[in-house]
């Protein structure tokens, strides 16, 4: 059986501290009669609150990759009572969550991880309507409560999409609008069918970006490409909520869109990923064809063109199940604008993984010495 691996790249330049919540998405898998296993993916400000918040095994006492921590925060209710962040199944049941930390950065003041909840519903759907599970709490980086909502109907679909985009999508200002892919696929390789911006309760207390600056064209809604006009946004960091539908479910993608005036951003080079040095974006999505049982092996390379700067990381927040990034190496001279980094990607698709899988890579640079 044949499969496709589609590769996207992005550079993260800014390291900005802010409020607590930065990113959220919900995926699910039916694991029994009327039984759903939810996966909640989130990114947070690592230094939020006191040292008891996100306490972990790091040198500074905070959580690092591999730790399991409670999901902290508050949700300001309409009655003025502060409630903790919680996951609501949509049938009146709620859960507190623990985060299995898979990525962290002291310099970026962030931690990212996965939370798992298994819930048994009374029926496959809510009286012919969808169940509406959601994560709710406070506060977004830009202020206001967040509500991250999915749609579940087990009569129509038993496995949802997984968002493959990055928690922070960072782009330099440009006179030409970007058409940014927001990839999603199931663990088995099925892809999304319709994208739209969140609305109403789906965005919680967020202030959405202007409708003439961030929007979907009809073609973009069908193909998963959002249009971003940075000239209308200026230098900013705004929350964006996108709802991605497949045959019978909808998953949320709640992320930060960061626009900046900097031109000396990390760039990918070589095969298979390359950054266009004029637009500082990716011209096309490389597609690698392969077969179940045969490995994908390639090297991702990125460099910095800024003096006194070092490439600190090349990462992907959501790899295909079984894939790994390994052999990360740094090179060049940070003091002569020649710092670079390479990392190897390795994945052998299983028999249950034919189809299309997206991988989104991010290169991160920081001043040197720190």
pTM over 0.85: yes
CA-wise closest residue to 170 among 296, 26, 307, 22 = 22
Categorize the per-residue pLDDT at 369 as very low, low, confident or very high, splitting at 50, 70 and 90: confident
Per the CB < 8 A criterion, the answer to whether 105 and 95 are in contact is: no
- pLDDT tens-digit series, residues 235-293: 999 999 999 999 899 999 999 999 988 888 899 999 898 888 777 778 778 899 999 99
Pairwise CA distance, residues 4 & 200, whole Å: 36
Phi, psi for residue 264 in degrees, rounded to 5: -85, 70
Pairwise CA distance, residues 149 & 167, whole Å: 16
Q: In what order do the strands lie in the sheet with 214-215?
A: 178-181, 225-228, 214-215
CA-wise closest residue to 152 among 141, 163, 160, 143 = 160
Distance of alpha carbon 167 from its chain centroid, rounded?
4
Pairwise CA distance, residues 12 & 215, whole Å: 22
**In sequence order, what are the residues at sequence separation of 6 or more whose Cβ sits closer than 8 angstroms to the Cβ of residue 165?**
181, 182, 183, 184, 253, 255, 360
E strand segments, 165-279: 168-172, 178-181, 184-185, 194-197, 214-215, 225-228, 236-245, 250-260, 267-269
Q: What is the DSSP letter of 160?
A: -
Categorize the per-residue pLDDT at 82 as very low, low, confident or very high, splitting at 50, 70 and 90: low
Residue 329: pLDDT over 90: yes
- pLDDT tens-digit series, residues 10-64: 766 545 555 689 999 999 999 999 999 999 999 999 988 766 788 999 999 999 9
């Amino acid at each position: 059986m044949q499969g496709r691996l589609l590769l996207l790249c992005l550079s993260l330049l800014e390291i900005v501290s802010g409020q607590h919540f930065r990113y959220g998405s919900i995926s699910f898998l039916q694991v029994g009669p009327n039984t759903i296993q939810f996966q909640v993916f989130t990114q947070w400000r690592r230094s939020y609150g006191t040292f008891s918040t996100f306490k972990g095994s790091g040198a500074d006492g905070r959580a690092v990759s591999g730790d399991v921590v409670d999901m902290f925060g508050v949700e300001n209710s309409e009655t003025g009572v502060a409630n903790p962040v919680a996951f609501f199944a949509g049938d009146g049941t709620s859960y507190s969550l623990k985060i299995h930390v898979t990525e962290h950065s002291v310099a970026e003041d962030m931690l990212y991880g996965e939370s798992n909840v298994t819930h048994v519903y009374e029926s496959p759907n809510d009286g012919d309507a969808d169940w509406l599970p959601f994560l709710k709490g406070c506060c977004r980086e830009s202020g206001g409560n967040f509500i991250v909502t999915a749609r579940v109907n087990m009569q129509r679909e038993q496995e949802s999409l997984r968002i493959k985009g990055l928690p922070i999508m960072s782009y330099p200002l440009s006179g030409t609008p970007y058409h940014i892919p927001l990839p999603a696929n199931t663990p088995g390789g099925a892809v999304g069918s319709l994208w739209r911006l969140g609305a109403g309760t789906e965005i919680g207390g967020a202030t959405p970006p202007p409708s003439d600056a961030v929007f979907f064209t009809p073609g973009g809604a069908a193909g998963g490409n959002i249009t971003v006009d940075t000239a209308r946004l200026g230098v900013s960091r705004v929350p964006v909520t996108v709802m991605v539908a497949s045959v019978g479910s909808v998953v949320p993608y709640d992320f930060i869109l960061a626009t900046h005036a900097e031109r000396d951003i990390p760039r990918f080079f070589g095969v298979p990923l390359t950054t266009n040095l004029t637009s500082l974006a990716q011209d096309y999505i490389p597609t690698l064809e392969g077969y179940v049982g045969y490995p994908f092996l390639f090297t991702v390379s990125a460099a910095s063109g800024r003096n006194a700067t070092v490439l600190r990381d090349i990462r992907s927040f959501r790899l295909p199940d079984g894939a790994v990034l390994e052999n990360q190496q740094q090179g060049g001279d940070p003091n002569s604008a020649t710092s670079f980094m390479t990392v190897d990607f390795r994945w052998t698709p299983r028999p249950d993984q034919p189809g299309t899988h997206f991988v989104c890579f991010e290169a991160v640079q920081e001043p040197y010495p720190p």
